[in-house]
Amino acid sequence: MSAPVPLIAGNWKMHGLSASLDEARAIALGCKDVSPRVVICPPSVLVHRMAQALANEPVEIGGQDAHWDDFGAFTGDVSAAMLADAGARLVILGHSERRTGYRETDEIVAKKVLAALRAGLEPIVCVGETLDERKAGRALEVVTGQVRASLPAELADKPFAVAYEPVWAIGTGLTPTIAEIEEMHRAIRASLVEKFGDHGRGMPILYGGSVKPNNAAEILKADEVGGALVGGASLKASDFLAIVQAA
């Protein structure tokens, strides 16, 4: 089976105003002849305008989270159906900032994945261990447990991605060694194959956590690394494009 096309996704988190659409246009301009699939996930209020601004560009738009219901009395929330309606094609789910800050469990993440599928969105499901869990030698067990419990059986014939993001590497400038990344990505692959058979062999496993222009090439060529989920370095077109070009 040929390797999946690398996926490079930028997670803008709670950054970006109208003026940031120019940065997104600059990213799109640099993506004309690149091989990876490139995605920008802006704050939800920018999804529609960014999707329109980049409608004819080789960059897809994603959300950063979505509710598990399609509509309802959930003040302040945004549903997957709304993101899709606004022009998103993908959605990040289960980011550690949601799991920790908003107490999202694997069960909630799995319900959100189902909502994404109903809306026709491709989920990027995040998993990752804390520093305490790694120090206790539990990283593999924690992460493969998250993979098993956050990915519902309904993904068996749908495109999706898993993003391995060690919590301690997010926004810290710290990264695991290449050997640690490969060990984890192989374990995630084994869990995906166990759960989804051949389909699980073809889905990209992204690495995320302090991916920068100076470490992207080494990380992206590691075994079973099928792309990157990039936070801070996705906010500046020149940095993000350097990462895209390293893939």
* Residues recognised as catalytic: 95, 165
Which lies closer to ligand PGA via its Cβ, residue 63 or residue 196? 63
* DSSP secondary structure string for all residues of 190-201: HHHHHHHTHHHH
Closest residue by beta carbon to ligand PGA: 231
Residues 155-174 binding ligand PGA (CB under 6 A) are: 165, 170-171
Residues 184-213 binding ligand PGA (CB under 6 A) are: 208-211
| Phi–psi pair at 79, nearest 5 degrees | -95, 165
11 binding ligand PGA? (CB under 6 A) = yes
Q: Which stretch binds ligand PGA (CB under 6 A): 145-153, 177-185, 194-202, 230-238?
A: 230-238
Q: In angstroms, what CA-CA distances link 171 with 176, 202, 205, 229?
A: 13, 29, 20, 12
Report how far residue 168's alpha carbon sits from residue 186's, in angstroms, rounded to the nearest whole number. Answer: 20
Which lies closer to ligand PGA via its Cβ, residue 99 or residue 111? 99
Please, what is the minimum distance in Å from the beta carbon of residue 100 to ligand PGA? Answer: 11
175 binding ligand PGA? (CB under 6 A) = no
Q: Which two tokens stand for residue 133?
A: 């869990």
**Contact (CB, 8 A) for 62 and 84:** no
Within 8 A by CB and 6+ apart from 71, the residues are 79, 81
Instruction: Give the chain's length.
Output: 247
227 binding ligand PGA? (CB under 6 A) = no
Residues 78-117 binding ligand PGA (CB under 6 A) are: none
# of chain residues touching ligand PGA (CB under 6 A): 13
b (16+ CB within 10 A) / e for 173-188 = eebbebeebbbbbebb
Please, what is the minimum distance in Å from the beta carbon of residue 83 to ligand PGA? Answer: 17
232 binding ligand PGA? (CB under 6 A) = yes
The residues that touch ligand PGA, with contacts defined as CB under 6 A, are 11, 165, 170-171, 208-211, 229-233
